[in-house]
Amino acid sequence: MIQFENLTKKFKRQTVLDNIDLSIGAGDRIALIGSNGAGKTTLIRCLLGEYTCEGSVTVDGVSPREDRREVLKRIGFVPQLPPPLKMPVGQLIRFAASLCDSDPAQMEHVIERMGLDPARIRKLPFVKLSGGQKQKLLIGIALGRQSDILIMDEPAANLDPEARHVFFDLLAEKQAHSAMLISSHRLDEVAALVNRVVEMDQGRVVLDDHVADDVDIDSNLHCRIELKRAEPAFNRAVEDWGFNSTEDEHVWQGIVAGPDRLRFIGFISRYTALLKSISMDEAVE
């Protein structure tokens, strides 16, 4: 599907991508990881046809630089930093839908599923939305159109747990026939979403590994936590995960999205001294 061949990108004398060979097929869900300056964003921009480069990038044999429309019609992109657009949300949706030959209602439907009310924010300038709202909107635009390649740069970083659930569900709906490239600084943020990890360092691919694909993106875990004593800081944090308490804030119950399990365990590990018991069970539909 996507083919990078001998891809090299230099900025003046600095080599940012160094002879990259990478092949991505339908059904691949790739975590593109690496530290700052590793070349992740440059690789993504080459795939979007935004950078000139040596070597070649093709999507089913077509160059995104030479035939932008044909390639970019297939790509849904969520940037790490939302652009500071002053245009109202409604106009942005119409603009994107018009360029993508998509139905704006479909984008609004996905945005609504992400927890935003399109009617309420339609007239607000995009730049005035909160970080999380911008992220939800851009995800809605990317997933609410006909695309079989998803490129996302830290897509879930600003999302609340509820929106993350929906986001994972949306990805699950697309996973069979799409290729996904999810860029992140931290593997634990995206580990459970992907079936392949590509690590970059100083412009080179230093790891390309397939990983166990046992976690369904749209699975859920019923979780019950019992505490030795109530703790306000813990209460606030666990409420952000959508948990409810019973028995005087000593027992908390809630649902954790399957792909978020590693992140949730990371959160819980900060409060191990408070824990009396914890259980996580795969929820049965």
Q: Which residues bind other proteins (CB under 8 A)?
A: 45, 48, 50-52, 68-73, 75, 77, 79, 81-87, 91, 95-96, 98-100, 125, 138, 151
Of 91 and 235, the one with the shorter C-beta distance to other proteins is 91
Of 180 and 268, the one with the shorter C-beta distance to other proteins is 180
Instruction: Tell me the closest approach of the beta carbon of residue 81 to other proteins, in angstroms.
Output: 5
Burial (Cβ within 10 Å: 0-12, 13-18, ≥19) of residue 285: exposed
Of 82 and 242, the one with the shorter C-beta distance to other proteins is 82
Of 34 and 49, the one with the shorter C-beta distance to other proteins is 49
CA atoms within 13 A on the CB side of 103: 4
Instruction: Tell me the closest approach of the beta carbon of residue 125 to other proteins, in angstroms.
Output: 7
Instruction: Tell me the closest approach of the beta carbon of residue 91 to other proteins, in angstroms.
Output: 6
Q: How far apart, in Å, are the Cα atoms of 235 and each of 238, 241, 252? A: 5, 10, 9
CA–CA separation, 128 and 133 (whole Å): 10
Report DSSP letters for 58-124, one per residue. EETTB-TTTSHHHHHTTEEEE-SS-----SBHHHHHHHHHHHTT--HHHHHHHHHHTT--HHHHTTS
Instruction: Dig out the tokens for 172 from the structure.
Output: 């699950």
| Contact criterion met (CB below 8 Å) for 198 and 32 | yes
Instruction: Tell me the closest approach of the beta carbon of residue 205 to other proteins, in angstroms.
Output: 22
Instruction: Tell me the closest approach of the beta carbon of residue 44 to other proteins, in angstroms.
Output: 9
Of 139 and 256, the one with the shorter C-beta distance to other proteins is 139
Instruction: Tell me the closest approach of the beta carbon of residue 198 to other proteins, in angstroms.
Output: 20
| Contact criterion met (CB below 8 Å) for 55 and 20 | yes
